[in-house]
Amino acid sequence: MNVAVIDYDAGNTLSVTRALKKVGARVDLTADPERVAAADAVVLPGVGAFGDCMRKLHERGMDQACHETFRAGKPFLGVCVALQVFFEVSEESPGVQGLGILPGRVVRFDVGDLKVPHMGWNDLTLTRSHPVLDGLDGEAFYFVHSYYPEPKETAVVLGTSEYGTKFCAAAGRENLAAVQFHPEKSSLAGLKLYENFLDWARGL
C-alpha cells in the first residue's frame, strides 16, 4: 500500500509521515502531483492559515491533484487545516476559494470568555459510522485551531466535539475523510486512526 503524503510545507508533514510508517504504510512524501496520482492512497496534512495552505497547494499544482485523487475514488485523508480547505470558503481568508469538495464554509470560534485558539484534548463524538473512525467514538484527540467548518449538508459530518459550542471535528463523503484534530499528536487513538485509514484503503 503506497501512501502519498502531499508535501507543501505544512508544519505537521513529518510527524504525519512518521505515524503512517509506524502503522505499516509505505509512505511517499512528495511535492510532485504525478507521484500523488500514482499512489494507492493520499494524505493531505495541514497547519496554519486557510489562505496560505490554498496558495501553496495552487503553486505546486496540488489543488488539482487533490481534485483528481477524489474523482479517481482513491482513499483520501485530510488532517487539521486540511479538513477546512476541503470546504468552499473561510472567514479566515476572505476571497480565497477552498477545494470545494465538501459544501460549506469555515467560521471562527465565538465562544465568549474561552480562549481562542482552542488548544488541547477533547473527546470525539461520532455522528455516523466510518471505517477511518471505527472504534474511536468517545476517544480524546489533540486539537489546535481557531476555525471550524460549518457544512451545508449534515450528511458529511462524521463526528463532533465541543468547545463552548458543538463543532464539526470530522467530515467526509465517498472516498474522502478529514479530521480537525492531530492524530499524530493523539497517542494510541491517533495511531488507531491511521491504522484504520490503511485498512480502509486496502478495502476500497
Give the ranges where 72-182 is alpha helix by DSSP (H): 81-85
Could you give the residue numbers annotated as active site?
A: 80, 182, 184
What are the pLDDT digits (tens) for 119-136? 999 999 999 999 999 999
* Domain 2-203 CATH (choose: 3.40.50.880, 3.40.50.10950, 3.30.1370.30, 3.40.50.720): 3.40.50.880
Confidence band of 174 (pLDDT split at 50, 70, 90): very high
Is residue 46 scored above 90 in pLDDT? no
Confidence band of 183 (pLDDT split at 50, 70, 90): very high
Distance in angstroms (rounded) separating the CA atoms of residues 184 and 174: 24
CB hemisphere CA count around 180 (13 angstroms): 33
As a residue count, the chain comes to: 204
CA distances from 189 to 7, 63, 137 (A): 24, 29, 10
Residue 14: its pLDDT value, please?
87
Residue 186: its pLDDT value, please?
96
